[in-house]
Amino acid sequence: MSVLSTPSSKARFDLVSALKRALLAALVAFGLFSLMIGVRTHTGSNGALFLEGRPGLLAIMVGIVFVSTLARELILGERQIELRSLVPPALTAPLQILPKLAAPALLVFALIVPIIFYQNRYMLDLGIMILTYVMLGWGLNIVVGLAGLLDLGYVAFYAVGAYSYALLAEHFGFSFWICLPLAGILASFWGIILGFPVLRLRGDYLAIVTMAFGEIIRLVLLNFQTLTHGPDGISGIPRPSFFGLPFNNEPGGFAHTFGLHYSFTHRIVFLYYLILVLALVTNFVTIRLRRLPIGRAWEALREDEIACRSLGINTTNTKLTAFAMGAMFAGFAGSFFATRQGFISPESFTFTESAMVLAIVVLGGMGSQIGVAVAAAVMLGGFELFREFATFRMLVFGLAMVLIMIWRPRGLVATRTPSVFLRSPKEVDAEDVRRARAKSWSWRRARHD
Amino acid sequence: MTDAATDTILAVQHLTMRFGGLVAVDDVSFNAKRGAITALIGPNGAGKTTVFNCITGFYKPTVGMLKLMHADGSVYLLERLFDFRINKFARVARTFQNIRLFQGMTALENLMVAQHNPLMRASGMTVLGLFGYSGFASAEQAAKDKARYWLDRIGLLERADDPAGSLPYGAQRRLEVARAMCADPVLLCLDEPAAGLNARESAELNELLLFIRTQHAVSILLIEHDMSVVMEISDHIVVLDYGVKIADGAPQAVRDDPKVVGAYLGVADEEIETAEAEAGL
Amino acid sequence: MEYFLQQLINGVTLGAIYGLIAIGYTMVYGIIGMINFAHGDIFMIGAFIALITFLCLVAIGITAVPLALFLVLLVAMALTALYGWTVERVAYRPLRQSFRLAPLISAIGMSIALENFAQVVQGARVKPLPPLITGGFTLTHKGGFTVQLSNVQIMVVVTTVVLMGVFSWLVARTRLGRDMRACEQDLKMASLLGVDVNRTISYTFIIGAALAAVAGIMHLLYYGVIDFYIGFVAGVKAFTAAVLGGIGSLPGAMLGGLLIGLIETFWSAYFSIEYKDVAAFSILVIVLIFLPTGILGRPEVEKV
């Protein structure tokens, strides 16, 4: 009898403690939401605020917290620390082999998108936007993923690229093809100017300084009216030509030269392939760099800066090259953005943009090229799906960043392919390394720590 | 230059290091001989690691001169070099008390990172390497061969492509030594290399260190707690206590020094005097 | 001269607000070595809670300003502290053993979430509040220029000074303060010596958030208007203040807040109001480059 009663009493105990926890969570939720959700402030016609009670909504929110905590407690019980186990391995395993299979498939898909969606302007525009973010993600991946430098002002270099092109075109009539490299050079130049003094700082200081720098650039763009037209932005930015052939219905235009019927879509498709090529160049250069000593030094820097210094690596220069390289690709992407939109204003370069690109890199798995591409597609696709819920999606986006850090701190694709190998390159899961280390080390460390 | 000077690889002269009001190292002088294993010992808080950090460029000494002499006669003043330059120019390499490997990178990659500077030159500061310059490929192959040699030496050839963080503790210690050796040093500084090792691992390490000294003619300076290691392999021992040098000499002489015994066992000064009297000093 | 004096008064008031927020940054950084990116948004939430509490009080007929203010202070401090506690519990604690960028990224996510939470539940429009504390003193009246010291300004400065006093006492004299200082020195050692590290960290967040709530109330009373976006800019400036004063140092946070407040005010007054944020952000960059340990911070010895 006692044998039988043990599990049931244990279960009862679990239920009681789970209920307790859920109640506590509900209580906290009530405290948090009581005023913020339970009472809504509205602006009246006379400009003064009036209140609207929302007890129903409050009850629903508290109820959701209660039920979800209860469910989590009952399902996970003691295992709740290991959030990773929430997702069955059957689901994550394909994710790990994803890189090998998915990369070629994705590339082929990306190449034929304009053929599939030739009639669908919306999909083409979405594709262009996703690819722009893929490129930004890959650029930032050099800085954050490889070199481990948390850059929260990445959008500043994007802005420098965009404004470089817009201003050079406006004042000197330079064409896109001249401005593209110039924008990259200018952006990386800014990267060096900013990086040189601040890259000696510790990781989290660097994050704040880069964020401040991003804001400085935005505020200057906003207030330097004579140069940038301030909040009105710059319009009428020249569109790119097909290596000198403009996309118009004139005799010297693209359509006439190739004997095609003029269509507005030509330019869109061209823009699509342009950003695809730019993104692929970014990817190619990154992969190449990873196998060079500089790339290995970046990764070593991310792992342990002090050890790098003890091995004669000039850490400041190494960081600077990562920073400049990342900035350069942002500059390219920026000038592409300017030519695609035909109009830019400081509004496009807020901190939210930096956070978005960072989230793409983090979500995808720092250092993983394919992960970043998938994350960009998933995130922007999701954003498009929930277009109507503009503020909700940012709320969800913020919470998702927190959850992903808890669930998989190294991102969805946490594996890393060694840059050099003797026998065969084995994929390495960063989390597994951490765990193995924590396990085998605990007793040794205790001895001499 | 006298014979004594050329025979010396590192001359530490009047080294003093203050942190605010705390004097961690107080006027310490000693010489490390070329091609020898010099051990720096002392109880906890004696200032050993501080001396090390001064030599390897992590701290800038408050006072003192650290002279490193290469076999070709060139002299480097380490207190004027700082940071990565110590390794790059003076060719002093080190390991750390709390192993600092690049955990997520493979054993091989760790050894490749150590050869960063020559590889950087070979890749034309990345530019040539980016465009597939053939000279870089051969330089990289040479670097790989060197790494392979050391991996073989430390018995980790089989695990070359495993992440450093997943290796057993003892292997990580050896890998860190191998990594330092890949940086092609003239002086190898080891911060408690035997800490946390069991007897077998400790013996393997001793063998490795003796091999490095005899086969590669690299001088070694090490901090050690484990007296068995120190006595077994050192040619010369310097003892620190409370930031001051209290003894300096051959292992046998140092072991019998009552001041050293006192510092280690924590006996009072009077007892040392009695001990000295008993020993007939 | 009169103009200068007036700006000085304004700057000190602003600096007091920044200083109170900066304490939250400096305490958390001192103990767990992490920038609590969401702290600026906690301040914003505090201001919202204060506003809503006040409106609720008016709705139920409590209109006596001193009583209402006292109750607003209590409710806002308590509920904002709950936000601080929850943020640490949900977003930071599970990541304490994780790799070094994880808590920072989680904090950024939390900051975005809080900002948009406020926007979703309370709307994006600015929330005005008619001035509660009116009147003040005219200090001088010369050459057609009046130097005003308003009652709100007096209240802001006095409250800050009182809170600083209470807080210093807490850190210096109480058991909790001792635990906090122990954790600041060495988290691991403190836990070995019987300090409940998790509890101490929780309290740190609670106190930081409560002080941020006070700053939020002051912001509300002083400017009379808030929106969901005030947390971001105030957060960066308060962080600048914490760095300027020397991160980890409590008097430093106050001093830094004061300096940032003064710099911002004088910059607006004598140069250009458009670039006042640029000035504040530039100071952050300059300080970190030339004086990374701040004015009152201890030099950091690298542990090798």
For the stretch C7-22, pLDDT in tens is: 898 899 999 999 999 9
Span of A101-110, A186-195, C152-161, C172-181 with lowest mean pLDDT = A101-110
Alpha-carbon distance of A359 to C113, in angstroms, equals 13
Total domains in chain C come to: 1
End-to-end CA separation in angstroms for chain C: 53
- Chain-centre distance for alpha carbon A338: 20
* Nearest CA-CA distance, residue A179 and chain C, Å: 28
Q: Is beta strand B244-249 parallel, antiparallel or unpaired with respect to B236-241?
A: antiparallel
Supply the pLDDT for residue B6: 60
C156 occurs within a structural domain: yes
Supply the pLDDT for residue A81: 47
Q: Which residues pair with B68 in a beta bridge?
A: B10, B76
Q: Does C301 touch chain B (CB under 8 A)?
A: yes
* Nearest CA-CA distance, residue B95 and chain A, Å: 8
Q: Which residues of A182-215 are buried (b: 16+ CB within 10 A; e: fewer)?
A: bbbbbbbbbbeebbbebbebeebbbbbbbbbbbb
> Per the CB < 8 Å rule, is C302 touching B58?
yes
| Contact call for residues A62 and A30 (beta carbons, < 8 A) | yes
B191 occurs within a structural domain: no
Same domain, B68 and B137: no
* Nearest CA-CA distance, residue C31 and chain A, Å: 15
Confidence category of residue A336, pLDDT binned at 50, 70, 90: very high
**Which residue shows structure tokens 């998938």?**
A374
Query: Is pLDDT at C44 greater than 90 in this prediction?
Result: yes
Contacting subunits of B (3+ beta carbon pairs below 8 A): A, C
Supply the pLDDT for residue B2: 44
In chain B, what percentage of residues exceed pLDDT 90? Answer: 2
Q: Does B102 touch chain C (CB under 8 A)?
A: no
| Contact call for residues A199 and C275 (beta carbons, < 8 A) | no
Query: Is pLDDT at C61 greater than 90 in this prediction?
Result: no
**Tokens matching residue B92:** 């002093």
Q: Range of A32's domain? A: 12-81
B190 occurs within a structural domain: no
Mutation site for B-interface testing, chosen from A289, A308, A310 by largest number of B Cβ within 10 Å: A310
Query: Is pLDDT at A228 greater than 60 in this prediction?
Result: yes
Supply the pLDDT for residue A140: 93
B26 occurs within a structural domain: yes
Alpha-carbon distance of B236 to A366, in angstroms, equals 48
Q: Does B53 touch chain C (CB under 8 A)?
A: yes
User: Looking at per-residue confidence, does B236 or C284 come out higher?
Assistant: B236
Supply the pLDDT for residue A305: 86
Supply the pLDDT for residue A100: 67
Give contacts of B157 with chain A, Cβ < 8 Å.
Answer: 422
Alpha-carbon distance of C99 to C95, in angstroms, equals 8
Give contacts of B98 with chain A, Cβ < 8 Å.
Answer: 445, 449
| B75-77 β-sheet, strand order | B22-33, B8-19, B63-69, B75-77
The residues, any chain, with a CB within 8 Å of residue C222's CB and separated by 6 or more, are C13, C17, C152, C153, C156
Nearest to B102 among A304, A424, A449 (CB): A304
Same domain, A53 and A158: no
Model confidence over A30-69: pLDDT tens digits? 999 988 888 888 888 777 788 888 888 999 999 999 998 8
Q: Does B135 touch chain A (CB under 8 A)?
A: no
Q: Mark residue A203 as left, alpha or beta (left: phi above 0; alpha: psi -120 to 50; beta: remaining).
A: alpha
In chain B, what percentage of residues exceed pLDDT 70? Answer: 89
User: Nearest CA to A443 among C192, C96, B198?
Assistant: B198
B201 occurs within a structural domain: no
Contacting subunits of A (3+ beta carbon pairs below 8 A): B, C
What is the Cα gyration radius of chain A? Answer: 26
Alpha-carbon distance of A346 to A233, in angstroms, equals 7
Q: Range of B23's domain? A: 1-90+220-281
User: Nearest CA to A310 among C130, B91, B24?
Assistant: B91
Give contacts of B19 with chain C, Cβ < 8 Å.
Answer: 301
Same domain, B105 and B74: no
What residue of B is the nearest CA neighbor of A302? B102
Q: In what helix (H) or strand (E) does residue A53 lie, and over which residues does it extend?
A: strand A49-53
Total domains in chain B come to: 2
C261 occurs within a structural domain: no
Q: Does C302 touch chain B (CB under 8 A)?
A: yes
What's the whole-number mean pLDDT along residues B73-87?
Answer: 81
Between the CA of residue C27 and those of A109, A239, B105, C84, C177, what are the distances in Å? Answer: 51, 52, 35, 13, 11
Q: What is the pTM of this model?
A: 0.83
Q: Range of C56's domain? A: 23-231
Supply the pLDDT for residue A245: 75
B275 occurs within a structural domain: yes
Q: Does B96 touch chain C (CB under 8 A)?
A: yes
To the nearest whole number, what is the mean pLDDT of chain A?
80
Size of interface B-C (CB pairs under 8 A): 7
Contacting subunits of C (3+ beta carbon pairs below 8 A): A, B
Alpha-carbon distance of B157 to C140, in angstroms, equals 83
C266 occurs within a structural domain: no
User: Nearest CA to C266 among C16, C7, C19?
Assistant: C7
Supply the pLDDT for residue B266: 61
Same domain, A309 and A186: yes
If you average pLDDT over each of A230-234, A366-370, C16-20, C249-253, which comes out highest?
C16-20
> Per the CB < 8 Å rule, is A434 touching C289?
no
Q: In what helix (H) or strand (E) does residue A344 lie, and over which residues does it extend?
A: strand A343-344
Same domain, B16 and B80: yes
User: Looking at per-residue confidence, does A441 or B55 come out higher?
Assistant: B55
A427 occurs within a structural domain: no
Model confidence over B146-164: pLDDT tens digits? 888 988 888 888 888 888 8
B131 occurs within a structural domain: yes
Query: Is pLDDT at B275 greater than 80 in this prediction?
Result: no
What's the whole-number mean pLDDT along residues A397-411?
Answer: 84
Query: Is pLDDT at C159 greater than 50 in this prediction?
Result: yes
B207: exposed, middle or buried (C-beta count within 10 Å: 0-12, 13-18, 19+)? exposed
Query: Is pLDDT at A78 greater than 60 in this prediction?
Result: no
Query: Is pLDDT at A84 greater than 60 in this prediction?
Result: no
Q: What 3-state DSSP class applies to A448?
A: helix
Give contacts of B151 with chain A, Cβ < 8 Å.
Answer: 422
Query: Is pLDDT at C106 greater than 80 in this prediction?
Result: yes
> Per the CB < 8 Å rule, is C304 touching B49?
yes
User: Looking at per-residue confidence, does B5 or A15 come out higher?
Assistant: A15
Model confidence over C235-280: pLDDT tens digits? 888 988 888 888 888 888 899 999 999 998 988 888 877 788 888 8
Q: In what helix (H) or strand (E) does residue A286 lie, and over which residues does it extend?
A: helix A265-290
> Per the CB < 8 Å rule, is C45 touching A400?
no
Q: Does C301 touch chain A (CB under 8 A)?
A: no
Same domain, B80 and B96: no
Confidence category of residue C215, pLDDT binned at 50, 70, 90: very high
Confidence category of residue B170, pLDDT binned at 50, 70, 90: confident
ipTM: 0.87
Same domain, B76 and B106: no
What residue of B is the nearest CA neighbor of C303? B58
Same domain, B81 and B96: no
What's the whole-number mean pLDDT along residues A222-247?
Answer: 79
Nearest to A212 among C123, C274, C284 (CB): C284
Between the CA of residue B214 and those of A251, B149, B207, B208, B230, what are the distances in Å? Answer: 81, 16, 11, 10, 17
Q: State residue A431 phi and psi, 5-degree precision.
A: -70, -40
Query: Is pLDDT at A433 greater than 70 in this prediction?
Result: no
Q: Does A172 touch chain B (CB under 8 A)?
A: no
Same domain, A151 and A55: no
Between the CA of residue A29 and those of A22, A316, A418, C268, what are the distances in Å? Answer: 10, 46, 46, 41
Listing DSSP states for chain C in one string gives: -HHHHHHHHHHHHHHHHHHHHHHHHHHHHHHH----TTHHHHHHHHHHHHHHHHHHHHHTT---HHHHHHHHHHHHHHHHHHHHHHHIIIIIGGGTTS-TTHHHHHHHHHHHHHHHHHHHHH-SS-EE---SS--EEEEEEETTEEEEEEHHHHHHHHHHHHHHHHHHHHHHHSHHHHHHHHHHH-HHHHHHTT--HHHHHHHHHHHHHHHHHHHHHHHHHHHSEE-TTHHHHHHHHHHHHHHHH-TT-HHHHHHHHHHHHHHHHHHHHHT-STTHHHHHHHHHHHHHHH-TTTTTPPPPPPP-
Q: Mark residue B184 as left, alpha or beta (left: phi above 0; alpha: psi -120 to 50; beta: remaining).
A: left
How many Cα neighbours within 13 Å face the side chain of A365? 21
To the nearest whole number, what is the mean pLDDT of chain B?
81
C145 occurs within a structural domain: yes
Confidence category of residue C45, pLDDT binned at 50, 70, 90: very high
Mutation site for C-interface testing, chosen from A72, A352, A401 by largest number of C Cβ within 10 Å: A401
What's the whole-number mean pLDDT along residues C84-110?
Answer: 87
* Nearest CA-CA distance, residue C143 and chain A, Å: 33
Same domain, B45 and B125: no
A148 occurs within a structural domain: yes
B199 occurs within a structural domain: no
Query: Is pLDDT at C39 greater than 60 in this prediction?
Result: yes
Confidence category of residue A443, pLDDT binned at 50, 70, 90: very low
Span of A189-198, A330-339, C6-15 with lowest mean pLDDT = A189-198
**Tokens matching residue C199:** 């509890």
Alpha-carbon distance of C165 to C161, in angstroms, equals 6
CATH code: domain of residue B278: 3.40.50.300
Supply the pLDDT for residue C220: 92
Model confidence over B213-246: pLDDT tens digits? 888 888 888 888 777 778 888 888 888 888 888 8
User: Nearest CA to A139 among A365, A322, A410?
Assistant: A322
Supply the pLDDT for residue A122: 83
A446 occurs within a structural domain: no
Query: Is pLDDT at A444 greater than 80 in this prediction?
Result: no
What's the whole-number mean pLDDT along residues A109-116?
Answer: 78
Same domain, A55 and A109: no
Query: Is pLDDT at B3 greater than 60 in this prediction?
Result: no
Same domain, A207 and A321: yes
CB atoms within 10 A of CB C270: 10
A441 occurs within a structural domain: no
Supply the pLDDT for residue C51: 92
Same domain, A141 and A30: no
Taking the C-alpha atoms of B161, B162, B163 and B164 in order, what is their torsion angle to the nearest 10 degrees?
Answer: -100
* Nearest CA-CA distance, residue B88 and chain C, Å: 19
Supply the pLDDT for residue B4: 47
**Which residue shows structure tokens 């192959």?**
B141
The residues, any chain, with a CB within 8 Å of residue A87's CB and separated by 6 or more, are A407
A437 occurs within a structural domain: no
Same domain, B84 and B101: no
Q: Does A19 touch chain B (CB under 8 A)?
A: no
C239 occurs within a structural domain: no
Nearest to C304 among B19, B20, B96 (CB): B96
What residue of C is the nearest CA neighbor of A446? C188
User: Nearest CA to A143 among A179, A188, A182?
Assistant: A188
Give contacts of B54 with chain C, Cβ < 8 Å.
Answer: none
Total domains in chain A come to: 2
Span of A376-385, B71-80, C38-47, C142-151 with lowest mean pLDDT = C142-151
Mutation site for C-interface testing, chosen from A24, A395, A435, A437 by largest number of C Cβ within 10 Å: A395
Query: Is pLDDT at B21 greater than 80 in this prediction?
Result: no
What residue of C is the nearest CA neighbor of B53? C304
* Nearest CA-CA distance, residue B2 and chain A, Å: 31
Confidence category of residue C132, pLDDT binned at 50, 70, 90: confident
- Chain-centre distance for alpha carbon A434: 24
